[in-house]
Chain A
């Protein structure tokens, strides 16, 4: 039989997920996976939060629960609670019914649905994304029908924010262009603007009538405080303007594979928000009809119960604190080895990832000689480190940096 698809060529491995594939094939007992951003314990094990297990039990023991389709926009309770989580319980935008929130498939799904909506209904088809950004961002927005441009973000010479470059690039964007902003814990660099810098960014964006689209994948995970990590988003909403926010519960509730997230669009009026919601449904229905129920039910169970919510904030802070501790341990280990270079960015950057500044040859060397797996841009997932493995990583970095090129 002849296939009509015989001309199809093999797709390249996903650069991020491909790291885990390679890691799994390695037989070395010293191997270390610092690729994908999934949290690990000190023992290197994946974690299901206690409060999530508790929510699971509540759900499975409730014999009245059924498995019916959710509405296209998802679980209503989940949507309301998610909006409050990111925007603040007392947000005037919520009180004025100006926010439409739809359940989507984690951060990816929220970005895609938001992008498709913009591609159909927004007058500007260009989205500005930071350089660098999560590898999947450009694909998501391109398939959504937008054209992708970059704004300067990371400065390799300081391993920090290229603030001047950012302001220049956004200043020269056409009025109305969409701007993707990482709400906190920028992926892959871990470099976030300071509050003062955020304020300048906000003023620039509003003065040029650019449309902000926040990707919030790490709320609570970055600093350990849900409110602090939402400040960038909240300051934009406080000024009365419109924006989009994609939320993910993959990391902060450890619900990775359950694909739980939400897209919120903050509008000028309740009437507009309701029309926008009706159009979001038309994007969703031909994509997957309605979102999966399980993960959203877990989230709603936790967020609406004050004891469980409180228990969650404690577990979340513990994860954030462990990562911060790994940063300090790695920094100290490199200092102790006298590894050449300034490694302070390891403790200045925030969130799950550190942009080490290592180049692709150094990365390849570390993988080959030390069985350490990370993406070729030099990004390491701090969540994959433990006190036991920090020395091995420090040795590898030291060797990579000091070896003759």
Chain B
């Protein structure tokens, strides 16, 4: 029988056989359980920053990972966030959130995606849970899709954020791809996209980037979105939106949610993954939301209960701190205004850097077309450079980006845009 208060009873005592060095003689002969474990490949995106950090060159530029930088190349904590944290520290307790997360945070977050006066929110038709940023929201949805539509497939655009493939694969959902990026025009391959939507079996699940497509920065126009919506409806497909950049793309959150609003008007029952990593700069706090629009309030309660069943054996309940920050900001009109201003500033700086990079390249006399730099939107620019050209940029110029030629515009500053343009020109001018 175990006794309470047994401190000191076992301190310093050893129970094993033999060996003054402290390990069991007979254990030494056994090999590791893990000797067959292969070293895993490095994450292509996060590996870029690791390489950047180890580079001693004073000229080095990091346009790899999609985390915002100010014009001095420094990470930013928004003023509204600092103020929210000042209010939170010392005041809140740290009790468990419910499995579905902070109710208040989810409420405010849904307003951003569905619209402040959305009839779906009034009618309580949206099943929603707080999730671990965009990744966690996508993963919960993928697990939910697997559990309740096990016969379904997910259609993923080419290209897409690499982790999308990992997420649906780990959820054991079979994947297909659909055409998206048109290499020659560095724009949208609209007709091929529509063909793929048409040819997919009815009732397929489609992953759509709501705005600021990652990695290409190429978004459909409003008119194109309407056509995509009509065709998806005709085919009975399920639209799942990954919205990681609301506010960050155009500077206006309402405008960036346009694709979602079109689909809602057209009567789709959608799902949405939302993230505050970029638009509130809460990267490491892991704050996001997964929502699924249901037929009615009753079904929304049911679906939410099932989403919670998936969260419980993964992490029980989501982290508190980031949710408190979001709630503090969005439920205070002044802080919310400040946030909107700061988001617009970030988006405007990026739009300005796009213009500057394009101008620099054109002024250098590049014969190639660089108008895609300003046509594309959001954090990333799909430069069109080949992996070999990217390798040269890294080796010769200490410029770090992913090998698909994706430039994180957030890493571009007035201080490095000239250097960057020059380097890009050097590696592309012969090709």
Contact = CB atoms under 8 A, between A and B. Distances in A.
Interface string B353-386: 0000000000000000000000000000000000
B148 A7 contact: yes
A285 B166 contact: yes
Given A67-B281, A239-B24, A289-B163, A281 B77 contact: no
B45 to A, nearest CB: 10
B315 A106 contact: yes
Contacts of B284: 67-70, 290, 292-293
Given A67-B281, A223-B4, A139 B312 contact: yes
Interface in B280-296: 281-286, 292, 294-295
B294 A5 contact: yes
A209 B94 CA distance: 40
B2 A136 contact: no
Contact of A348 (B1, B14, B16): B1
Contacts of B169: 286
Contact of A227 (B11, B31, B166): B11
A292 B324 CA distance: 13
Contact of A57 (B24, B89, B292): B89
Nearest to A224: B7
A164 interface: no
Contact of B23 (A8, A239, A349): A239
A267 interface: yes
B99 interface: yes
Interface residues of B, number: 99
Given A46-B95, A109-B315, A257-B94, A239 B4 contact: no
A161 interface: yes
- Pick the most buried of A224, A225, A347: most chain B CB atoms within 10 A of its CB: A225
Contacts of A257: 94-97, 317, 319-320
A324 interface: yes
Interface string A278-291: 11011101111111
Given A105-B319, A108-B314, A228-B7, A6 B24 contact: no
A202 B15 contact: yes
A296 to B, nearest CB: 9
Interface in A50-87: 52-53, 56-57, 59-60, 65-72
A171 interface: no
Given A67-B282, A238-B14, A259-B315, A272 B2 contact: no
B24 A67 contact: no
Interface string A255-269: 111110000000111
Nearest to A108: B316
B283 A108 contact: no
Interface string B381-403: 00000000000000000000000
The 3 closest A-B pairs by CB, nearest first: A240-B23, A257-B320, A268-B32
12 contacts: A6-B299, A8-B302, A38-B96, A57-B90, A66-B76, A109-B314, A199-B15, A206-B27, A255-B94, A259-B315, A279-B39, A285-B135
Interface of B: 1-11, 13-16, 22-24, 27-28, 30-40, 42-43, 46, 65, 67, 75-77, 81, 85-86, 89-90, 93-99, 132-133, 135-136, 139, 148-149, 152, 163, 166-167, 169-171, 203, 238, 267-269, 277, 281-286, 292, 294-295, 299, 301-303, 305-306, 308-309, 312-322
